[in-house]
Structure 1
Amino acid sequence: GIQVLDHAYGDHFHSEPLKVLYIVGKDSKFQNLVSTLKCKGYSISTGSNCIVSHIKNSVEADGRKRPAVSMIDKDHISTAELEEYEVVIVPDFIISMKNYVEILTSMARHTVSGILHSFFTKDDAAHAGQMIEILEQCGQVVPDALRDLYHTSPMLE
């Protein structure tokens, strides 16, 4: 997830910083992620319903602003103002398909260029078919890696 954020920041050349939302669980990885992002110079806001405009942005030596990063618990997706974010990152497959639909449709209603990043492992292969269907229904590009995961899944009938 951090590499995705760094890449998005590197490719973003607008005067306004990107607005980024991480959807995380309550495990120990969450604290490690916060610490790592802070060390890399990102401003972090956590809470049940983070609003980007209240976050102080970090400024680089060249005057560019690093993205303001908000983090919410997966249980608070329905309260998040998803239309505020250009990039949503789900570092682990921790949410239900219903939540993915909610995220994608909310982003689609409010932004033309919003991006959702989620990470699947072989352990998540059973959900690959559903995720492909959701992405296609929302007019999103289905990554080849997700299709490959689906086609190599032993769950395929």
Structure 2
Amino acid sequence: MRKSLLYMFFLLASLFFTACKPSDPKTLISSHTWTFDAEAMKEEMLKNVTEEEKQIMESMWPMMVQTIKTYRISYNADGTYEVKAPMGKEEGTWELVGDNVLRQTASIEGAKALEPLDFTIEEINANKLVLAREAEQGKKIRMVLVPASSSETEQNAE
């Protein structure tokens, strides 16, 4: 009896640790439709701006947050992606390069594929995806993404 209980304990413990094992980055990325975390994006946008720019951004923030929340980014398991935004839609392919680079290549119908964009994956888990990219003059652009709620995704599809 005692051996049976001990055996059951180890079996349950191994199942628990196997079930809690973090997913690989590709699975985590493709398991959600992502949207911007508006407050984190505001924090990022306010870094390295002048006081005047900060005041302008603060005054425009209510309108900006409505737009930010409408973006939907889907990285599909088949290596394609789609960005839905108020201005339209972008599609293309994506892949992981190494363990921490997401390479995104936009395609335009009837045209040659654009140059790929590489984003460093700074953080990834089931609730957050943080991508960073070097911009002009050595500045870093960070995008903080969170899973879009299913009701938001359905509304955006309409």
Structure with more of its chain in strand, by fraction: 2
Please indicate, yes or no, whether the TM-score normalized by the shorter chain is above 0.5.
no
TM-score by length of structure 1 reads 0.24
TM-score by length of structure 2 reads 0.24
